[in-house]
Amino acid sequence: MHFEDEPVPGYSLPVLPGHVSPGRLERVLRNGTFAVTTELSPPDSSDPEEVYIRARVFDGYVDAINATDGSGANCHMSSVGVCALLTRVGYASVMQVSCRDRNRIAIQGDVLGAAAMGVANILCLTGDGVQAGDHPEAKPVFDFDAVTLLSTLISMRDEQRFFSGRALTSPPRVFLGAAANPFVPPYDFRVERLAKKIAAGAQFVQTQYCFDIPRLRAFMSRVAEQGLLDKVFVLVGVGPLASAKSAEWIRSNVPGVHIPDSIIKRLRGAAKQRQEGKRICIELIQQLRDIPGIDGVHLMAYRQEEAVAEIIDASSVLEGRTPWYPQRDHPDEVSNSAMTAVVS
């Protein structure tokens, strides 16, 4: 699939009829195309080139790049800063917003600033507790949770007003997302929680890592029974495991991640565990492609970002299309623009 009238990097596409944002991710999903998103871990740096280096490994393989917001309660370059850098050269970004660190005044201001800089997608998260990260003595805020944040951004976008009721002169044109975790109990609550997020304004969801297809199928069946599938786009989280030892550590130490014994046993029995982890990821993507209601995958390859292209290629999930990236159509012109953005 190819969109005509691609903008100069840093400038938005027009908002199409029936759309809420100028973003490519919404266009891909509403077109019925199976979408691929990924995650960029912000650097511990103020150097913009570090962001661009990390983004370039995804060129031609993803429809949007998530910028995490203090993931794991650890401090890095801000999500809004990363997204500003990405959008100025033309990447489609998803700005993650955690309610842990900022109150309603700061969050609403960040959203307006991000939208002004071209950010078209926002993922609303409650956030991990501060005790999980590298600043456990920090004061948590949690003025909002994800549901309240979603409803607030809906009011800003659709009713053109702040949470306080004060009017906005220009609303943020953003496509709103939320997180979901079908893989840990209580399972009924997971569907109920998703329903609340959709009612509050979520238009797409990205799930926690999926290593259990039967559990995902059960979740999707419940979502369908609740009549939610035509109200939200579902992108399932996937990612390569580096080794059996790594998988065991993640299962024991990362809240919300479920990895079945069968996956760990398969990794342990492989001669090359990292390659086997990629094969498992590829197989999962291929299985997800055929589950009704699944609209895409969110490929999280922490410290294996260079594997994203290999995994997407091997899965054939793009079906021959090349997602847009800054150097796709006009490599010389766009490369110069990117360099200007870096040094300006």
Q: Are 158 and 171 in contact (CB under 8 A)?
A: yes
Q: What is the CA radius of gyration of the chain?
A: 19
Q: Where are the domains of the chain?
A: 24-242+281-343
Q: Looking up tokens 């009238």, which residue turns up? A: 5
For residue 12, what pLDDT is reported? Answer: 74
* DSSP H helical ranges for the chain: 24-30, 48-56, 79-88, 104-116, 146-154, 187-200, 213-225, 244-253, 261-268, 273-288, 308-315, 331-343
For residue 236, what pLDDT is reported? Answer: 98
Q: Which of 37, 93, 60, 45 is nearest to 205 (CA)?
A: 37
Q: 157-168, pLDDT tens digit by residue?
A: 999 999 999 999
Q: Looking up tokens 């893989």, which residue turns up? A: 183
Question: Which residues does the chain have with pLDDT short of 70?
Answer: 1-11, 70, 73, 129-130, 132-133, 330-344
Q: Looking up tokens 């209580």, which residue turns up? A: 186
CB atoms within 10 A of CB 6: 16
At 233, list the tokens. 């786009």
For residue 76, what pLDDT is reported? Answer: 86
> CATH code for 24-242+281-343?
3.20.20.220
